[in-house]
Amino acid sequence: MPHANPEPAHPNGPPRSAFWTVFAESRIPMALVDRDRRYVHVNDAVLRLYQYPLEEVLGSRAGRTVVDEDHSVSDADWNQLLRTSELYGERVITHGNGSRMHVSYAAHATTVGGTWLALFVTLSARFLGGSELIGRPEMRLADGDVSRLTVREREVVRLVALGNNTRRIAAELSLSQATVRSHVGNAMGKTGARTRAHLVALVLADGLVQD
């Protein structure tokens, strides 16, 4: 499948920046939404999970598939994102096949090529009455440490962002699984992330993942 979003012009970085590499190649569904709440870029994982054609998604309004959407709640959520630069929520949506799906997501505001965009990451997804299509990662409360990530933590988080599990990351970096979990936990604590996928949204948006 061709990538859903070939990298656009990016005057603030090299032709193939870490952000776009991870965004395009990740198995975690990610989307970028502009200030008008329109989808401007999605990765292939989004198209595989939600089963909507790319041409139908790009330019459409974020939240258009939410079931029985209460616009006052949706507007309040969006205003929170604009105000705090982050959002965490759950919705029931209509899947591309017509079924209803429960999803949880995290969003974090960032600047890409000088343009404000919100990076949305799907944390978990399941059809109502069905099994998880994307499993819920372990939850971990933030410990208030906001120091920047170490080189090793960034390395581990980059592999998390590409959709690798603990075992694969441990094999890739020749580390024990316990060490990998420790690095992920430290990174979550430093960023205040609630889940691994939330961590991905935060570190990508803040430019903490490097090639």
At 190 the pLDDT is 87
| Residues in Cβ contact with 69 at an 8 Å cutoff, skipping those fewer than 6 apart | 63
Average predicted confidence (pLDDT) for the chain: 81
pLDDT tens-digit profile of 171-183? 999 999 999 999 9
DSSP result, 139-193: P----S--PPPPHHHHHHHHHHHTT--HHHHHHHHT--HHHHHHHHHHHHHHHT-
CA proximity to 203, closest of 175, 143, 162, 144: 162
Q: Which helix (H) or strand (E) holds 123?
A: strand 115-127
pLDDT tens-digit profile of 120-134? 998 889 998 876 676
| Res. 6 pLDDT band, cuts 50 70 90 | very low
pLDDT tens-digit profile of 36-48? 999 999 999 999 9
- If one counts every other C-beta atom within 10 angstroms of the C-beta of residue 94, the result is 15
Q: Are 156 and 203 in contact (CB under 8 A)?
A: no
* SS3 (DSSP) at 38: strand
Q: Which two tokens stand for residue 195?
A: 């889940």
Query: Given CA atoms 84, 85, 86, 90 in this order, what sign does their dihedral have?
Result: positive
DSSP 133: E
The pTM score is: 0.77
What is the CATH architecture assignment of 18-205?
2-Layer Sandwich (3.30)
- If one counts every other C-beta atom within 10 angstroms of the C-beta of residue 115, the result is 13
DSSP result, 60-107: SBTTTTBTT--HHHHHHHHHHHHHHSEEEEEEEEE-TTS-EEEEEEEE
- Give buried/exposed letters for 42-73 (b at 16+ CB in 10 A, else e): bbbbbbebbebebeebeeeebbebbeeeeeee
pLDDT tens-digit profile of 58-103? 999 998 898 866 665 678 889 999 998 888 888 899 999 999 999 9
| 134-138, 149-153, 174-178, 206-210: which is most confident | 174-178
Alpha-carbon gap, residue 206 to 91, rounded angstroms: 25
Q: Which residue has the tokens 């505001």?
A: 109
